Structure 1
């Protein structure tokens, strides 16, 4: 078993009810907000928001991703990793995945997104259904080296449209919490 696979086995993705009494309201509000994170970040940054692609391509999906998508372990999928930035600072690391078979039959071309927000696409298409948000302490090993911090909160949810499932994970970086704190002052 690889290090990454053993990490996946150790990650506990939790529902709201499992965290509601353990976290403060502002943190819960960010983690379990069911609206568009892109819109919320755009508002927080006063329109100084952008998406920076880091990685896009076909690769073997992690075991936890395969399980969440209901596909066989080790399946190939499209992986897109980006930073969601406010005022040029990485606020959120996002990783979106979909199985190859689902994308081939689902008619969504993720390869052409570039610096556009996947979240905006998902929230503009009324056919997508969002499944419940799950939260975890995101493993440092799964983050890009420059964003690797211990004990960062991450969330994920599955979006579904006519048999096409996309799993979107978002990890809240320290600069976001600082910006959110400054907004409430």
Structure 2
């Protein structure tokens, strides 16, 4: 589990129309792309995509997560933190949370995913509806120690099915931007 620095102020999660200054076009396109990130990363990695779990378990959710899920502050939920890897490189850090009560009522077993992608499950189940994407520069103190860096772009959205809401946050690590740039360069060379 990542050590959450309680002194760290939560970021301001913003919708696209709330941005004062938009990120670079390629960053904006990846942050606000509505399709499955798992599928995009699988294509980008030429099918060399995998998931490495870091932490899964019950714990109090952060204040910003409780607010997004419309839960009382300090509510307990299931937390799943993973790396999404492409070509055996850490490309994205992902943190997914859901309230204990909603998970128990719905019967979804997030604890059984292992190295499977939660995103693939959410996008393959037509009953889930995705809420609006929000972005921020993710707090360095909320990242795994090995990847602590300031200014990394993150995005999040809620996936809803009945009374169940799953908040999925994805933080794009520098390695994924290099892979995206290399892919764009190789596509230019082919054309």
Instruction: Tell me whether the two structures share a fold, i.e. TM-score over 0.5.
Output: yes
Report the secondary structure of 2:8's partner residue.
Answer: helix
Q: TM-score, normalised by structure 1?
A: 0.95
Once residues 58 and 106 of structure 2 are traced to their aligned partners in structure 1, the CA distance between those partners, rounded to angstroms, is 16
Q: Secondary structure at the match of 1:184?
A: helix
Return structure 1 stretches of 4+ with deviation > 2 angstroms.
3-9, 18-22
TM-score w.r.t. length of structure 2: 0.92
**Which residue is 1:7 aligned to?**
8
Native 8 Å contact 1:8 1:63 kept in 2: no
Shift of 1:75: 0.6
Q: Pairwise CA RMSD of aligned residues?
A: 1.2
Q: Can you list the C-alpha shifts for 1:13-50, whole angstroms capped at 9, x where unaligned? A: 01111238522211111000010000000000000000
Write out aligned runs for 1:34-183 (5 A): 34-183=34-183
How far apart, CA to CA, are the structure 1 residues paired with 2:32 and 2:86? 20
**Cα distance, 1:6 vs structure 2:** 4.4
Is contact 1:5-1:63 (8 Å) kept? no
Aligned length: 182
The change in CA–CA distance for 1:131 and 1:144 in structure 2 (over 3 A counts) is: same
State the 1:4 CA deviation: 3.6
- Gaps (5+ residues) in structure 1? none
Partner SS state of residue 52, structure 2: strand
Do the aligned partners of residues 84 and 20 (structure 1) sit closer, same or farther apart at CA in structure 2, a change above 3 Å counting?
farther
Q: Is the 8 A contact 1:140 1:149 kept in 2?
A: yes
SS in 2 for 1:74: coil
Aligned residue for 2:178, secondary structure, equals helix
Deviations 1:75-98 (A, max 9, x none): 100000000000110000000000
Residue pair 2:22, 2:28 contacting (<8 A) in 1 also: no
Distance 1:20 1:30, change over 3 A: farther
Unmatched segments (≥5 aa) in structure 2: 186-191
